[in-house]
């Protein structure tokens, strides 16, 4: 009888221990909106696009950033004079994307250095820089609002270009046109 009791108690203790370990792990992997209360919208976007936290939802349009941690839901306005474009150049495969999801969108080239150049319709260089793709394979850039331009991305000896716009209703995610050749 004592042997059965010891087995049952050991099993119960084991289950409880497993529960606490799993619960502790989950708590370390998930976050809440509270973490972002004192950050600017640009800081939040950059942080989320780079880190992709578990248990969190974040998408961006030309006007707003929508956040949810499963319990809370928040909508933040983007800066009036800036536009966020997230893009993922690729060689073999990608997914179609219109409005960037900072958590779930995934690109092919992870942590790779690329060269990006954005030139407006008048030929003015808006941005030219060497950048490293995030852990999700994307790069996010802030551009002036209400611009029509061309983005050119170079990786090693491969290049891709695509037209972009930065209006309120413009797409914030660019993938399929950026197949590197």
Fill in the DSSP letter of residue 100.
-
DSSP string, 116-143: EEEEETTS-EEEEEEEE--TTS-EEEEE
The domain spans of the chain are 1-30, 33-181
Q: Quick check: 76 and 166 in contact, CB under 8 A?
A: no
Write the class of the CATH domain 33-181: mainly beta
pLDDT digits (tens, 9 = 90+) for 32-59: 677 778 899 999 999 888 887 778 889 9
| pTM, to two decimals | 0.79
Query: In terms of DSSP bridges, do strands 125-132 and 158-165 run parallel, antiparallel, or are they unpaired?
Result: unpaired
CA distance 13 to 157: 59
pLDDT-based confidence at residue 3 (cuts at 50, 70, 90): low
Fill in the DSSP letter of residue 102.
T
More confident residue, 128 or 96: 128
pLDDT digits (tens, 9 = 90+) for 140-175: 999 999 999 999 999 999 999 999 999 999 999 999
More confident residue, 123 or 103: 123
Q: Quick check: 106 and 86 in contact, CB under 8 A?
A: no
CA distance 113 to 111: 7
More confident residue, 102 or 181: 181
């Amino acid at each position: 009888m004592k042997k059965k009791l010891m087995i049952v108690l050991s099993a119960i203790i084991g289950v409880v221990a497993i529960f606490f370990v799993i619960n502790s792990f989950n708590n370390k992997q998930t976050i809440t909106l509270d973490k972002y209360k004192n950050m600017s919208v640009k800081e939040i976007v950059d942080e989320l696009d780079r880190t992709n936290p578990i248990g969190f939802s974040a998408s961006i349009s030309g006007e707003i950033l929508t956040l949810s941690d499963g319990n809370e839901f928040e909508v933040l306005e983007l800066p009036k004079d800036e536009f966020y474009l997230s893009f993922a150049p690729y060689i073999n495969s990608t997914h179609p994307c219109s409005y960037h999801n900072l958590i779930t969108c995934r690109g092919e080239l992870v942590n790779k250095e690329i060269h990006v150049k954005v030139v407006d319709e008048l030929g003015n260089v808006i941005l030219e820089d060497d950048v490293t793709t995030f852990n999700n394979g994307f790069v996010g850039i802030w551009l002036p609002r209400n611009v029509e331009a061309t983005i050119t991305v170079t990786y090693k000896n491969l290049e891709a270009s695509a037209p972009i716009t930065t209006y309120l209703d413009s797409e914030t995610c660019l993938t399929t046109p950026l197949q590197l050749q």
